[in-house]
């Protein structure tokens, strides 16, 4: 049985937990055949039979419905595709599935770039705005941008206390650090 690449395995786990890894293995090992969600469920059942240390609980993983939900999760993450045909005898649709794991680097790169853009936008926002907070409401984390504080006449709407400028250097440092980390992430698959 071909094993999943570790990066792919981690991604599958994030998407759908332990079962997504099992479904991923089935898709990876059935590239040359037409495989339905029912086949996948049966194969997993067969494969993990007798494995005592399987987690999470086996009952959940063996349900056809759980496998179907997992396949749709993979589909919405662009890691799986299907085609369907109508079974002439029953009138029901049969779904045949296959993986698109070759796209994983692209998918992850897209996510990585999206995250970096969000961090940058946030950093820019922090750089361009002064924030004000009430000096008396201690447990109150509400921050007001300058325009809002100005409209409030620099008075706390909760208690009438004075709104004072907040230092946001820590947040900016934190965001910069996150951006550096994001750039360092490597997404290559052997």
- The contact set with Zn ion (CB under 5 A) reads 134, 136-137, 156, 158-159, 161
| CA pair distance 116, 7, nearest whole angstrom | 20
The minimum distance between CB 162 and Zn ion, in angstroms, equals 8
Three-class secondary structure of residue 95 per DSSP: strand
87/158 with CB nearer Zn ion: 158
34/158 with CB nearer Zn ion: 158
Cβ atoms of 50 and 42 closer than 8 Å: no
The minimum distance between CB 141 and Zn ion, in angstroms, equals 11
| CA pair distance 15, 10, nearest whole angstrom | 9
39/136 with CB nearer Zn ion: 136
17/161 with CB nearer Zn ion: 161
Alpha carbon distances (Å) from 101 to 26, 29, 44, 119: 12, 12, 19, 28
The minimum distance between CB 133 and Zn ion, in angstroms, equals 8
The minimum distance between CB 158 and Zn ion, in angstroms, equals 4
**Tokens representing residue 121 in the block:** 């936008």
């Amino acid at each position: 049985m071909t094993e999943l690449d570790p990066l792919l395995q981690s991604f599958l786990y994030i998407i759908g937990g332990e079962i997504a890894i099992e479904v991923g293995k089935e898709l990876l090992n059935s590239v040359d055949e037409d495989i339905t969600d029912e086949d996948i469920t049966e194969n997993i059942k067969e494969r993990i039979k007798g494995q005592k240390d399987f987690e999470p609980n086996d009952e959940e993983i063996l349900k056809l419905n759980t496998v179907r939900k997992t396949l749709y999760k993979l589909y919405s993450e662009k890691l799986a595709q299907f085609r369907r045909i109508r079974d002439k005898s029953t009138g029901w649709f049969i779904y045949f599935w296959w993986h698109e794991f070759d796209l994983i680097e692209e998918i992850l790169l897209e996510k990585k770039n999206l995250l970096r853009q969000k961090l940058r936008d946030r950093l820019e926002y922090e750089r361009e705005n002064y924030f004000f907070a009430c000096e008396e409401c201690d447990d109150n984390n509400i921050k007001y941008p300058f325009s809002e504080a100005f409209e409030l006449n620099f008075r706390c709407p909760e208690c009438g206390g004075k709104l004072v400028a907040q230092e946001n250097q820590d947040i900016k440092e934190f965001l910069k650090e996150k951006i550096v980390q994001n750039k360092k992430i490597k997404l290559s698959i052997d």
